[in-house]
Amino acid sequence: MSAADVISGIKERARAQRQTIALPETEDSRTYLAAAEILKEGFADIVLIGSRDQIAETASRLHVQVDGAEIIDPADYPERSELEALVLEKRRHKGLSSDEAAALLKDRLYFAAALVASDRVGGLVAGAAHSTAQVMRPALQIVGPAEGVKTVSSYIAVLSPLKEFGSDGLLLYADAGVVPDPTPEQMAETALITAETARKVYGIEPRVAMMSFSTKGSASHPLVDKVRKATEIAMQRAPDLLIDGEMQADAALVSEVAARKAPDSPVAGKANILIFPDLNSGNLCYKVTERLGAARAIGPLLQGLSRPVNDVSRGCSEADIVGVVAVTALAAGL
C-alpha cells in the first residue's frame, strides 16, 4: 500500500462522516492553499479564524478559493461570552479571572481550542506558524486529556516505500513531539494509546516494539531498565496486546536480525509501532527516516486528548496540512 493509498483511505473514511475542522493560522499562506484543497476534495468542512477582511484579502492575493469555508472572527463572535465562561471554568483552579479569560480568547489558538472543547467544531490543526509548545498549551489547558488518560503524547505516521517494514510500509513512531523524558509509566501509556490509534485510525493490528539500544539483555544500563519496566507495565495493562522489548531497531524491523537477536519474540522483525524511550530518539529517528529513507511522515499528531487537536511542523507543506486535517477529521468522527 502506497502513502497515497493510506491517505486516500483516510480521506474516504473522513468524507463519510464529514467533520468540521478549525484552521486558526490565517496569517500563513499554506493555510489557505490547504483549505482550498480540502474543500475541493470534500472530506471535511473548514472554519477559518480571523478577520474577514484580512482573510478575503489574503485569499484573493493567493488566487485561492475558500468560499466554502466558514469564517469566524473572534472579535465579533456572537457566542463569545459562552466561550469565555468555558475558558474561565477550565482555568479557574489556576486563579484565572474573567478579564484574563477574555484576553486568552484574543489568541486564535486558544479561541480555536475553545471551539473544539465546546463541540462547536470537531477538531483543530495548527503549527505551521507556531511551535509545538504554543499549540500544546491551549490543547492541554482548554481541550484537556481524555478520561482516564494521564499522559498526552504524540505519534508520527511513517509511510515508507519499503513495503517489507511495518504494515505494508506503514509504521507509527511515538512519542516524537511532546514528552521529553517519559517515566516507565508514561512510556507504557504511550504504547497502549498508540496501539489504540493504530486500530481505530489506521485499521491495522498493532505490533509494538519498545525501543532501546539493547535487545533482550544485550546491554545493561539504567536507560535499558527504564524500557524493560515500561514493557512490563504495558504487558500487565494489556495482556492481549502484541508488545515486546527492550529491542533495537534492527531487531524490531528486520526478520533476519530478529531471528538471531530475539527468536522467541512475537513482535521482533515485524513491528509496526515503535515506542521510543525519550523525545531525542523519537524525534531524531522520524526525521532521519523521512529524509534518508524517502518516507513520508505525517505529524507529530497528538493523542490522548478528549477531542482531536493536531500539530504540524513549521516546515510543513500545504499537502502536509491536508493530510493532518484528514486524520483529524477521521478521529473527530470516531
Which pLDDT does position 334 carry in this prediction?
Answer: 87
Q: Which residues contact 189 (CB under 8 A, 6 or more apart)?
A: 149, 150, 151, 153, 304
What pLDDT shows up at residue 297?
87
Query: What's the pLDDT tens digit per position in 266-321?
Result: 999 999 999 999 999 999 999 999 888 889 888 889 999 999 999 998 888 999 99
Rounded average pLDDT over 79-93 = 94
Query: What are the CA-CA distances from residue 286 to residues 94, 188, 282, 302 (Å)?
Result: 36, 20, 6, 15
Judge whether residue 1 has pLDDT over 80. no
Please give the average per-residue pLDDT across 140-157, as a whole number: 94
Average pLDDT over residues 81-104: 92
pLDDT for 4 beyond 80: no
The percent of residues above 90 in pLDDT, for the chain, comes to 88
Instruction: List pLDDT tens digits, range 95-106.
Output: 889 999 999 999
What is the model's pTM?
Answer: 0.90
The CATH topology of domain 3-144+305-329 is: Rossmann fold (3.40.50)
Q: What is the pLDDT of the chain when averaged over all its residues?
A: 94
Domain boundaries, the chain: 3-144+305-329, 153-292
**Which tens digit of pLDDT belongs to each residue from 214-257?**
999 888 899 999 999 999 999 999 999 999 999 999 999 999 99
pLDDT at 177: 85
Q: How far apart are CA 330 and CA 324, in angstroms?
A: 10
Give the containing element (helix H, strand E) for 283: helix 279-292
Q: What is the pLDDT of residues 181-222, one digit of tens each?
A: 999 999 999 999 999 999 999 999 999 999 999 999 888 899
pLDDT (tens digit, 9 = 90+) per residue, 10-66? Answer: 999 999 999 999 999 999 999 999 999 999 999 999 999 999 999 999 999 999 999
How would residue 112 be classed by pLDDT, with cut points 50, 70 and 90? Answer: very high
pLDDT on residue 315: 86
**Quick check: do 3-144+305-329 and 153-292 share a fold?**
yes
Q: Class assignment of domain 153-292?
A: alpha beta
> Tell me, what's the pLDDT at 220?
87
pLDDT bucket at 3, cuts 50 / 70 / 90: low
Contact between 172 and 202 under an 8 Å Cβ cutoff? The reply is: yes
Q: 167 is written with which cell numbers?
A: 504494515
CA nearest 271: which of 286, 287, 257, 254? 254
